[in-house]
Amino acid sequence: MRTITTINELRDVLRAERREGRTVGFVPTMGFLHEGHISLVNRAKEICDVVVMSIFVNPLQFGPNEDFDRYPRDIPRDSKLAEEAGVSYLFTPGVEEMYPSKMLTNVSVAEVTEPLCGASRPGHFDGVATVVTKLFNIVQPHYAFFGQKDAQQLAVIEQMVYDLSMPVTIVPCPTLREADGLALSSRNVYLSAEEREQALALSRSLRQAQAMVEAGERDVATIRDAVASEISQQPLAVIDYVELLQYPRLGYTARLAEGDRVLLALAVKFGKTRLIDNIIMNV
């Protein structure tokens, strides 16, 4: 594995790889890698000759009162994990390399960015769309791999790639979970033992909702209320949102219909830690 910190050097090596006819797969991350990231690399290795991973904690996608400064960072640990996973090129630019001067350009996707995390974190998806566009322009991957754990982010990126005819195929990858159901996230390290125990209500409530839908429940408010009520029983949980929307357009609906593809998504705070989780269901 070769670690690269400058845009020019990465462009040079990838130009040579493409000239040799190799397919380039790209796994963009903000680091503090876990098995979820490694599963994206494994999927990339199945499809591509060369796997590029970026680690960049992108300031554009954090609000002023969010956890940009305390977001966990450990490049030596991540480098070891990336190398063991079979990453070919690890791109770890600094903020001054990615944004040498004030960014005057912003990539903004409408509608799919409005509900869920878009409502709770104004500007977040502009920051994501802008950095992913920039990374795509640098890496020029044939394929890019994104986890369904960030289902709204995936919908935003797919819409952006489609609208702007970006020459990349987006490959969605399933959410990875601990044995007890907690979705893997770099932010899990913030949780105290008690918070972590109570956070199991998130995946439990999603499983219960899926069982309700499988048993024939079609009323969205009833399903949403059941999820919210399960989570609210945890004294440390503060619900940001629980929503059941059409996927991937993220439109609201009052009743589910046969054949619908829907996203049940939630965001819940435990102390300062905000966790998200979701399930995509085919009704």
Q: Tell me which residues touch ligand PAF (CB under 6 A).
A: 28-30, 58, 61, 128, 131-132, 150, 153
CA distances from 176 to 34, 148, 183 (A): 10, 9, 6
Q: Which is closer to ligand PAF, CB of 33 or CB of 48?
A: 33
Phi, psi of 237 (to 5 degrees): -90, 130
Closest CA to 145 of 134, 132, 130, 126: 132
CA angle 125, 209, 248 (to 5 degrees): 35
- What radius of gyration do the chain's Cα atoms show? 19
Provide the minimum distance between the beta carbon of 167 and ligand PAF in the complex, in angstroms, as a whole number.
Answer: 18
Query: How far is 77 from 84, CA to CA, in rounded Å?
Result: 11
Provide the minimum distance between the beta carbon of 21 and ligand PAF in the complex, in angstroms, as a whole number.
Answer: 28
Q: Which is closer to ligand PAF, CB of 82 or CB of 237?
A: 82
Q: Which is closer to ligand PAF, CB of 59 or CB of 228?
A: 59
Tell me the H-state helices in the chain: 7-19, 35-47, 75-85, 95-98, 116-120, 124-139, 151-163, 193-214, 220-232
Kind and range of the H or E element at 279?
Answer: strand 273-282
* Sign of the alpha-carbon dihedral angle for 248, 251, 252, 254: negative
Provide the minimum distance between the beta carbon of 91 and ligand PAF in the complex, in angstroms, as a whole number.
Answer: 11
Tokens of 126: 């502009």
Q: Which is closer to ligand PAF, CB of 61 or CB of 198?
A: 61
Provide the minimum distance between the beta carbon of 211 and ligand PAF in the complex, in angstroms, as a whole number.
Answer: 29
Query: How far is 197 from 192, CA to CA, in rounded Å?
Result: 9
Provide the minimum distance between the beta carbon of 143 and ligand PAF in the complex, in angstroms, as a whole number.
Answer: 15
To the query of whether residue 37 is one of the catalytic residues in this protein, the response is yes
Q: Which is closer to ligand PAF, CB of 29 or CB of 203?
A: 29
Residues involved in catalysis: 37
